[in-house]
């Protein structure tokens, strides 16, 4: 006797921070389109602005969480656990603060029409690379060389 099983579709898990960059519609370049034209710049302004907004919301959530959850536990182990949790959150927020500064400087580059070009060699970084890492300042070749040099210097 054969049994049939019903397959159910699973919903994809929501990603937290990486989902911010995954939630945009990739830019569809037109044939013979000029690199870093107005539409492309607007595309990246939108990506960067949404990313910055999401990071700022996370900062606000952390501040509220730390205010709400702050307690003076009588048990030293409980107090140490809470301090470690807060320390971890603050380190994460510090990295995000630095990322927000990088996003702001990237938005400035867009305003100055210098966005999308490698700081080292001056070639186009490329739409797909910028969509993967909107704050990139080096083309893939220069970034690869920089990483190789860094590995050689650190041993």
Residues 6+ apart with CB under 8 A from 127: 27, 29, 40
CATH class of 36-115: mainly alpha
Mean predicted lDDT score pLDDT of the chain:
86
Lowest-pLDDT choice from 68-82, 84-98, 101-115: 68-82
Annotated domain spans of the chain = 36-115, 116-155
Q: What is the mean pLDDT of residues 67-96?
A: 86
What's the confidence (pLDDT) of residue 11? 39
Q: Determine contact, residues 128/27, Cβ cutoff 8 Å.
A: no
Q: Is it the case that residue 1 has pLDDT exceeding 80?
A: no
CA pair distance 111, 125, nearest whole angstrom: 17
Residue given tokens 């996370």 in the structure block: 58
Q: Determine contact, residues 143/130, Cβ cutoff 8 Å.
A: no
CA pair distance 145, 127, nearest whole angstrom: 20
Per-residue pLDDT tens for 9-56?
433 333 344 456 657 889 998 999 999 999 999 999 999 999 999 999
Q: Is it the case that residue 6 has pLDDT exceeding 50?
A: no
Q: Is it the case that residue 86 has pLDDT exceeding 80?
A: yes
Sign of CA dihedral 72, 76, 82, 83: positive
CA pair distance 35, 29, nearest whole angstrom: 9
Burial bucket for residue 91 (CB in 10 Å: 0-12, 13-18, 19+): exposed
């Amino acid at each position: 006797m054969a049994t049939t099983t019903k397959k159910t579709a699973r919903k994809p898990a929501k990603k937290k921070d990486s989902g911010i960059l995954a939630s945009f519609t990739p830019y569809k370049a037109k044939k013979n389109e000029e690199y870093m034209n107005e539409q492309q710049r607007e595309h990246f302004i939108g990506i960067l602005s949404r990313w910055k907004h999401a990071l700022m919301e996370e900062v606000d959530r952390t501040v509220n969480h730390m205010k709400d959850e702050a307690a003076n536990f009588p048990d030293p182990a409980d107090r140490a656990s809470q301090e470690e949790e807060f320390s971890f959150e603050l380190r994460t927020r510090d990295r995000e603060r630095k990322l927000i500064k990088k996003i702001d400087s990237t938005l400035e580059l867009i305003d100055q029409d210098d966005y999308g070009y490698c700081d080292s060699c001056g070639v186009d970084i490329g739409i797909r690379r910028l969509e993967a890492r909107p704050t990139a300042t080096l083309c893939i070749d220069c970034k690869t060389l920089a990483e190789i040099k860094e590995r050689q210097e650190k041993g």
